[in-house]
Structure formats: C-alpha cells, structure tokens
Amino acid sequence: MNLTLTATARQARYLRDRWGDDQLQRGVAVWETPAILSVSAWIREQWDRQLQRGADLPHLLSAEQERVVWRQTIPHELLGEESFLRKGDLVEHAIVANQIFNRWRERGAGLPIDSHVDEQELFRRWQLQFKEYCERHDLLEHARIAEWLRELLFDGGMEILPETVSIYGASQFSRSERQIIEQLNELGCEVREEGGVSISSVVVKSSLPSESEEEVAVAYWLRDYLQDNPGHKVAVVVPGLYGRRNRLERLFGFILMPETRVRSLSNNLLPYRFSSGPSLLQDPRINTAMQLMELAGRGLPLQEAASLLRSPWLLQGAEIEVRSILELRLRHWRNPEVSLATLIRLFEQESVDGGIYATRFLGALRALEGLWLSEARLTTTEWAGNFSRVLAFFEWAENGEKSDIALAAYNSWRDGLDRFSSIGDFTGVISFSAAILEFRQILARMDIQYDQAVDAAVEIVTPEEARGVGYDALWVMGMDDRSWPARRELSPFLSLEWQRGQVPMAACGNNLKIAEEMVAGFSVAADKVFFSFAESSEGEGGEESLRATSMVGDVPFMDYQSLGLKTTVEKWWLDSDNISLEEIDEGALSLQYGSRVRGGSSILANQSQCPFRAFVRHRLQAESVEREQLGLDPRERGTLVHNLLERCWQQLGLSSIKLKQIDEQVLRSLVAAVAEETVEKFRHSRKDRMGDDFAANEAARLSRLAMRFLQLDRGRVAEFRIEEMEQLHTIALDGITISVKMDRVDRLEDGRRVLIDYKSGKVSSASWQGERPEEPQLPLYTTLLDDVAAVLFGQVQVGEVAYKGEQEDESLLKGADGKGRGGRRKVVVSGGWGEQIGQWRAVVTDLAVEFREGVATVDPLKGKNSCQYCGLESLCRVEYEVAEK
C-alpha cells in the first residue's frame, strides 16, 4: 500500500484532484482512489481503526470538553486579583501552550519554563493537574494523539504498515508529525519527499492607493478573468482574511453576481468560495435564538430587545406589525435594560390600555417565563432540550426557508447543541446562566459550514491555506511590509528561549525564512500570479503609509491600469435602458378648511424646519425611533423644570409681591421640598431608570435651578401676577385649528401681558425671526392674546439662567434683563412693536396655510443641521437631496 501524507487537508484535496485529472487525460474511465490524506487526518484514521478493532483506548476529548477540563483544573493562584488575564483568556492560552509544547518538543523532554516567571511555573502545575485529571479519568486531548500513535508504532500495534510513504509539504510538518514519519521509516517503510507545485509562471506586482481600492481591483479582475477563461481555477490569497471576510463577500457578490443585491442565491451558484464560513453568531437566525435565551436570563439591552421584537424569524413573521408598534412603546419607556418580565408587562399593559394585541407572541413569552421560573440546576443535555422547546413555542426554524444558507445555519445550530450536550459529563448540573454562557462560548467558536455540491471557480484563502496548492491564476493581496512576514505571538506560558529555538515561526529569522519560502511558492503556483499591495491603510491610529515587502522586490512592476478592467456593473435588472421616468408631485392632498389637527405648535415648527417632516409627523402620524440614552433625555429634563416652576408659583400664590416678601431661607426650603415631590411623582413610572441616588441628585439640581430663576423674577421692578400657567388654548389659523399650551402668561399692573416659554436648553430670540422661524411658538401665542407687550424665552439651564427675547419698552423687564457678551441686553426693545406682532402673525399664518395645502417638499431649513435630530431620514432620503444641492 502506498500512502501520501500532506501538511494540510487542502493540499490532500489538490493532489487527489490532480490525480483524477491525470487519469482523465490518459483516457482512464475508472481508477482506484489513491490514499492521499493530511497527516492529521491519517493519525485520526488510525485511532478510529483501533476503536473498530476493540482496542482499549482512552476517551478522546473534543475541543469543547477539553476547554471544560482545563477550566476545572486551573490553579487558584492564576485567578487572583493580580492575574494578567481573564479566566477565558487563561484557558485559551493554556490550550495553545499545550499544543505548541506537544507539537514541537523533543522526545521525553519536559515542559520548558523560565523559573523566574511566575505564570510559567503556575502553568507547569496547571498542566500537571490537567494531565493527572486525564489519566485518572482515562482521557486524552488532541494535542497528544500524535504521541499515542508513536507509542502504538513502537509497540507494534499497527497490523498493516504502508510500503511507501510520500511526504508533501514536509517543511510544514510539526516535530511530532516528523517523528511519526521517522518511526515509520525505522519500521521499514520507504519514505520519500514529493516536490511541491512548480508551474512556469508570469509574475507581476501592482500597487493600489488604498486597501478598499485593492479589494475592488481584485473583484473586477476576477470578473473579467472568469469571463475570458471559463473552467479555470483561481485563488485569491488574503492575509487577515477573517477580519475582511464580510466586506469581501459583499463586494464580490455585487461585482461577480449582482443578483445578490436583490435576492439571496444558493451558495452553490456563486462562482467564489471562502475557505471558512461566516461566524455562526453573526447569522440573524442564530442571533435571534440566542437573544431569546438571554432575555429569559439576565435580560437584553434595549437595542437588542427591540431587534428581537421585530424579528421575522419568530412566529413565521406573524403579528410583526403589532410587534413593531410595541417596539416603539418599549423605546418610549427608555429602560436601558429590558427583562423578560418587563416585556411581558408591556404586552399586557398595551393590550388593556392601548387595545394593541399580540396574543401569540405574548403566549410564547409566558411559556418562556414558565421554563425559567425555577432555580433549577440541570445537565447540559436537559438544558439543550429546554432550549429547543422554547424555540418551538416561537416557531423558530419553521418559516419554510429553503435556502442552503438557512439550512446550513440551522444544521450548525443543531451541531452546537450536540457539542453543548457532550460537555455534560464534565460540567455536571449547572444553572441556567451558566448554561447560556457555556452554549454561547461554543457557538462563538463555530462557523457556518455550507454543503458544497460543486467546486467553485474562485477560492478565497489565507496564505497558510494556499501553500502547496496549484491554480490557473493566483492573486496575492496585502504584499506590504506590515503584513509580510506576519507577526507571530509567543505563548506567555512557555519559555521564550525554548520557543525561539524549537518553534520555527517563533524566531524572527525563521519566521522571515518561512515567509520567503511561502512567497517563492506562490510565484510558481499558477500560470499567472499577481502580487498587490495598498499604498496606505486606514487604521485606529489614522492613515498609515505602506510599501511593498522586500520579498517581492525583484518581481516586475505593472501599473494596475494596464489590466484594462471594466469598472462598471451591468444593469442586468433593467429590461431596457429606455425607460421613461415619471415625475411625482411632491404636494399632498389639501386638508379640508377648518380641520382640527393634533400636534400643537410643533406643527408650525416642523413646517418651518422642513415641510416634509411636518407632513409625515402630523398627517401620516409617523414617529421617529427613540434613541437609547442613559438617564433622562432633554425632553424629560424640560418637563421636570416646567412642573417644578409651576408647583413653586402655586405655593407662592402666583404673585411677585409674595415672592419678594418671603424669607430667602424659607424659599429655599419650600423649593427643595417641591423639587423632591416633583421628582418622586415623575419617577413613579421610571424607577428602572431613576434609582434613589439618581432621584436625590436630580432633585438637588432642579432645586438650585429653580432658586436661580425665582431670584431672577424677584429682581423684576414691575410687579406682576401670573395669569395662567400650562393652560390649554385653541387657535384657528386660516383653515386649521390647533391646540396649544402656553407655559406662562404674566399680567402687569397696567394690564399688559408678558408671554414666557421655558427652555432648558440654550436659546436665542433670533430663532423666532424670519419667514421660516426655528421656534415659532411665541409668535404663534401672540395671535391668541391681546395686550402682549413682551415675548420671552425663560432659559433655565445650569450654564445660564436668564430671560431672552423682545419687549415693547425697557420698563417691562427692568431688573431682570441682564446683559450678554458685548454689553448687549438679553431682552431687547423692539421698535414698532405693533408692526412686529403683525409680522409674526403673518408668518405663522403662512406656515399654517402651507401645512393645510399639503406642501411637503424635502427642504430642511439649515441643511443637514436641521436633520440632526429628525429621525425620519429613511423616509425622505435627505442625504441625496442635500447632495444634489
């Protein structure tokens, strides 16, 4: 029997394919499949054969089981407060260190450590405890399976030995694998090394301005090359492929298969294949399932809970419109964290108060709650069964998807459940939170594996995966001096001197030599070989200039433009280019004269800021999605200020005289008590967001602000009485009727009125000027009342407490009309007061007419600045409108 062993599985597949092509060229119709395997696959095959013979072998640990054992045997000193790694990182470092040691150690050599390094001494103890645990429980980790095979060969346990063993990619074999080959040779097997790929190649290098342009160039070259050379095999080698995979997948799909922009295609229809699938947890189906599990445990952040509510993977999309409405309600609650109990309460409350019913989803949530009510500790197999039952309540994975992407995701999920169940013998019974953590860690290490019915024309691989494999054409990206040679991390648990002496890739000199051998191999791996590099890279530290690595210094340079690539994508989705475009009237239907419209003064403010915003908010009733924010948002802080000042004035009898008569200390006590009462009432429905300390701090903050503002009113010379506060009025404006609530109206002794609008943010009276005022509330209020002599913003802000606005004469606000920068008064005297009021009334009337007539153009008052807090950009596509202007 002849055996060929390769360093990697990809090399083995390449040799088998090459053998098959040779047989076909010779006209052979049927042939025996040669024994060509990667060395790791052959070692595992020997293990399985011994099991079939009934040999008494230890249990071979899976990767998941091994992690659990390492975690259970960790020395407590490594978990101390001064430990330089987290527990999860410790386990990963331990596994890697153990693999390095077993792959590269000399026969019989002990663990190499530096005695002065505490972590290495602790790892020596850890590895010893791990090994003793394995021996005590008859276990074996994968890192020592090569050692097991050497002992088997030494003891004569292999019944049939190969006559010849051909080695392909010998420089990539580890020391433990080479020791097996040496032992086979000692037992009489003929061992010979096979030469690698050697193709007479045309080799060039090229540079692109940036990494993104390099990726685009590769995609266009692939498209043109495959069109000119159907049936050829091509590879794209990408250093750091894992971090660039998603971006490359989108780009290659758009350029090579534009259909992927509008519909999902079977993986087998794509002309390209990545060497590894996408991360399992990145799949939306799997992410939805895990969100459900975690909702039942610790809860979810608001954004994730909102995403879960509108997920199409639950209940086959049923009730999704109602769920979207409930998502908005949930965002209005503004809880940064959402528990399962909170979500159930939301559904129940809205079904009673709002008449919004999602009975199937609510029933599934209650079933989910029922499974986790107890503080049960179960085995992983029992938890896996519970996970599946929960998902059945939500009809997950039952939506009839037929795509191979969905099938691969669901199959990978089931594989994950099997792996999770397999660790039960090592974890024992565990809590729900521990089960979720274990399961997520397992899924986080899994990729989605697609069934590949046919080979793809293009393989996207890492440099290590491309070694020793031949192609018709090869493009190697990232040939810059930063990426070549690649940096190799040393294990902190092993002697650095030993690693540099025994592990080839650990020493700088050896690492450079390996990289040079790799690049030299690429140069003869295909008929056409392209090396490319980006001249700059955008990283966390800013833009970084790059140069070609010296390894391709002798390769001829070719200007990328000389490839003559077409850099356009065919508009395959249009039946014809001669399609007449229909112009759409941006006006809406006019409202009936005399219509009553909800929205108050914000109707006119939105109409002024952007007519489209007013239309969708107040006629279509569209709402922007609440932004997640810790603490109170500006609107809530403004509400607190309004409520506090209203309550304080009620305590003061609405009179400036009484305000001036009250003792200051008594006033402070009064304001502090009212502030506490106001905050307590406000937080009644917000206790999830306002704890006791937060509420106390907020009450103190409001008390200080209110005192400053009352002191401002205390300084006014002209006596006044508050005529109304927060009172609702109805205004008819040339065909529409709206309701408004004025913050405050002061009545002076001479009968004139002062209109005040409280603002907790920074303001200026300039915001109500012009034909399109940003803040038309106060001009609007002048249409409602007679004898108006001043319109003011009452700014109540930590940085500034002041009145700002305009008055008929300086006596009205004397004593409270402070000066700003440059000595200009904050409340100015307006000449021609009657004309000014008339102009304001004309402006608000014009805005009301525009709204009634359905003017709904996308016309933000101040460009992108007006759109900053709108939240309706997805409806108006404003970025395109602004770009055109």
Is the pLDDT at 683 greater than 80? The verdict is yes
Question: Which band of pLDDT confidence, cut at 50, 70 and 90, is reported for residue 528?
Answer: very high
pLDDT digits (tens, 9 = 90+) for 590-627: 899 989 999 999 999 999 999 999 999 999 888 877 66
pLDDT digits (tens, 9 = 90+) for 707-741: 999 999 999 999 999 999 999 999 999 899 999 99
Backbone conformation region of residue 784, classed left if phi is above 0, alpha if psi is from -120 to 50, else beta: alpha
Is the pLDDT at 81 greater than 70? The verdict is no
Residue 579 has a pLDDT of 61
pLDDT digits (tens, 9 = 90+) for 765-819: 888 888 999 899 999 999 889 999 999 999 999 889 999 999 999 999 998 988 8
| C-alpha closest to that of 270 among 251, 250, 256 | 256
Sheet of 190-194, strands arranged across: 35-38, 2-6, 164-168, 190-194
List, in order of start, the domains of the chain with CATH numbers. Answer: 2-111+120-194 (no CATH), 202-277+454-563 (3.40.50.300), 280-444 (1.10.486), 589-626+722-885 (3.90.320), 629-715 (no CATH)
Tell me phi and psi for residue 460, to 5 degrees.
Answer: -105, 115
Is the pLDDT at 569 greater than 60? The verdict is no
Contact criterion met (CB below 8 Å) for 606 and 856: no
Residue 572 has a pLDDT of 46
Tokens of 694: 């937060």
Residue 82 has a pLDDT of 46
Strand positions, DSSP E, 196-271: 202-208, 234-237
Average pLDDT, the chain: 88
Given the DSSP bridges, would you call strands 337-338 and 164-168 parallel, antiparallel or unpaired? unpaired
> Identity (one letter) of the amino acid at 684?
H
Is the pLDDT at 880 greater than 80? The verdict is no
Is residue 30 within a helix (H) or strand (E), and if so which, with residue range?
A: none
pLDDT digits (tens, 9 = 90+) for 237-272: 999 998 899 999 999 998 988 877 767 777 778 899
**What average pLDDT does this structure show over 350-373?**
84
The DSSP letter of residue 111 is: -
pLDDT digits (tens, 9 = 90+) for 833-854: 999 999 999 999 999 999 999 9
d(CA 782, CA 755): 8
Residue 500 has a pLDDT of 87
**What average pLDDT does this structure show over 72-76?**
88
Residues 6+ apart with CB under 8 A from 811: 717, 718
Question: Which band of pLDDT confidence, cut at 50, 70 and 90, is reported for residue 882?
Answer: very low
- Vertex 358 angle, CA 352 and 363, to 5°: 100
Residue 628 has a pLDDT of 65
| C-alpha closest to that of 369 among 343, 348, 388 | 343
Is the pLDDT at 884 greater than 50? The verdict is no
**What average pLDDT does this structure show over 216-227?**
93
> Identity (one letter) of the amino acid at 212?
S
Tokens of 169: 């990619």
Residue 885 has a pLDDT of 46
Residue 876 has a pLDDT of 80
The DSSP letter of residue 23 is: H
